[in-house]
Amino acid sequence: MRTLYHFALHPASRQARITLAEKKLKVTESPINPWQLDQGDWKKFEDITPEGVPPTLVDVIPSGEIIITGARAICEYANDGSTRHPLLAEDIVERAEARRLADWFDHKFAQEVDALILHEKVEKSIAGAGAADPAILREGRETLAHHLGYFCWLLERRDWLAGRYFSLADIAAAAHISCLDFLGEINWRDWPTLKEWYQKVKSRPSMRPLLMDRIPGFRAPRHYTDLDF
């Protein structure tokens, strides 16, 4: 029995969900909103999550219960567990490229895009910290366009983001892009190469639960769930 604590509009949480689904690992999803916990629930969550943010995976294995936190550790753990449905290529160069890109999303993209757009539109809204600042959103959108350009440049040269195979890099990208798409932040007409990639990604069964997410206070654009957008 596995339980994954996650927050729906959170790229790190989404990476864990997609990865567990790609590996066909059964898991009970337990939504948790770290910005809205009462003190009792916060204490319980913090006890198992020293980072203070999801995702947190609780897995029961023969030697007992284990707790793994953070997207990178959970994704590598899920992939390590079996050689079926591999999410890293056998070729060590393509593996390295997948890890470089996953890390690029979790650091550079997260700091320069998520920390502006998701923070302004999601975290501030949930925390009741006022309206989104248009200047910060503008800055985030400019960097997003720059990064999507790089993303397309890679995809014009490869089958998938890191090379020949679908990998943890595509999962990291899908997690970040799908959150921004939920908020209507991707203008698909401007990015045909990216759109083609995202159509392939969206039609994978692992993405289905994310496309069904309903988040109180937010409404996704109609194309968000549409496979042929």
Q: Shortest gap between Cβ of 33 and its own copies (angstroms)?
A: 19
Count, residues in the chain: 229
CB of 10 to its own copies, least distance (A): 14
- Count of positions on this chain that bind its own copies (CB under 8 A): 28
Strands laid side by side in the 56-61 sheet? 28-31, 2-6, 56-61, 64-69
Candidate residues 24, 43, 107, 138; the one interacting with its own copies per rule CB under 8 A: 107
Please tell me whether residue 106 binds its own copies under the rule CB under 8 A: yes
- CB of 10 closer than 8 Å to CB of 56: no
Q: Does 104 bind its own copies (CB under 8 A)?
A: yes
97 binds its own copies (CB under 8 A): yes
Residues 7, 33 contacting (CB under 8 angstroms): yes
User: Are the C-beta atoms of 224 and 181 separated by less than 8 Å?
Assistant: yes
- Residue linked to tokens 């020949």: 164
Enter the tokens of residue 53.
């943010």
Looking at the Cβ atoms of 42 and 229, the one nearer to its own copies is 42
Which window, 1-9, 106-114, 181-189, 207-215, contacts its own copies (CB under 8 A)?
A: 106-114
Q: Is residue 80 within the footprint of its own copies (CB under 8 A)?
A: yes
User: What is the DSSP secondary structure assignment for residue 223, as one 8-state letter?
Assistant: G
Site string for its own copies, 151-190 (x = CB under 8 A): ----------------------------------------
Pure H helices in the chain:
11-22, 39-48, 71-81, 92-104, 115-118, 124-127, 134-155, 168-182, 192-202, 208-211
The residues that touch its own copies, with contacts defined as CB under 8 A, are 50-51, 61, 63, 66, 68-70, 72-74, 76-77, 80-81, 92-93, 95-97, 99-100, 103-104, 106-108, 150
